[in-house]
Structure 1
Amino acid sequence: MDPESVCFMAREIIILRRLDHPNVMKLEGLITSGASGSLCLIFEYMARDLAELIAAPTIKFTEAQIKCYMQQLLRGLNHCHSHGVLHRDIKGSNLLIDCNGNLKIGKFGLATFFHPNQTKDLSWKKEKDFGFCLV
């Protein structure tokens, strides 16, 4: 694994371990392979992402469904923000939907920590040994 991937994956693991909410993807476990040097993250099963559903010509959301998805998204974001986490990549393909219509925020690879009283800008920074990491 290249240093940049390690940096993103490590941050994602730390963030996912901090968050426990019905509208945030749950990290179920990790699998490592000594032979290939790879690390796989294991998540709960989610049937589709919101971008897929929006693009499907046969699916039309009702106003109630849209409100329900927005409410779930805002609840998940509120949980993230109240635990000092900014996702920084909210888009349809990162919002996962299960077969029961439950929405979960996923893919925290670009997420970062923040403090409510933080005055430093959140931006890209070149780190000596880890490639580019968000700080």
Structure 2
Amino acid sequence: MTPNRADCLGIIGVARDVAVLNQLPLVEPEIVPVGATIDDTLPITVEAPEACPRYLGRVVKGINVEAPTPLWMKEKLRRCGIRSIDAVVDVTNYVLLELGQPMHAFDKDRIEGGIVVRMAKRAKRWCCLMALKRS
């Protein structure tokens, strides 16, 4: 995928392109905006606006992190080459597949001082979702 075609990172983007190429109508899913219902926030600092001009977040409470991912979603992820991790991560991956919008879920209680968006620092180690240390 070339950088100028990020719209095709999700099923909707590909469907839009195919519809135009075949001169077919496209019925896009209705996405209803959901306003915030709680006042809880988390500070976000973007230190690399040239790489990430906009970074948005939403605090969601009452998530049961022990809930299983529905089988239909696990299967759709598997068929797209994505390993099921847990319900929260699986939902973010599902949204990526559908809309092409990359997402990440954080545990707010484990974040100290907010989220900082920046370029990686040299020799910085981090832990990925599979608990492997990376450099």
Please state which band the TM-score falls in when normalised by the shorter chain: under 0.3
The answer to which structure has the higher strand fraction is: 1
Q: TM-score, normalised by structure 2?
A: 0.27
Q: TM-score, normalised by structure 1?
A: 0.27
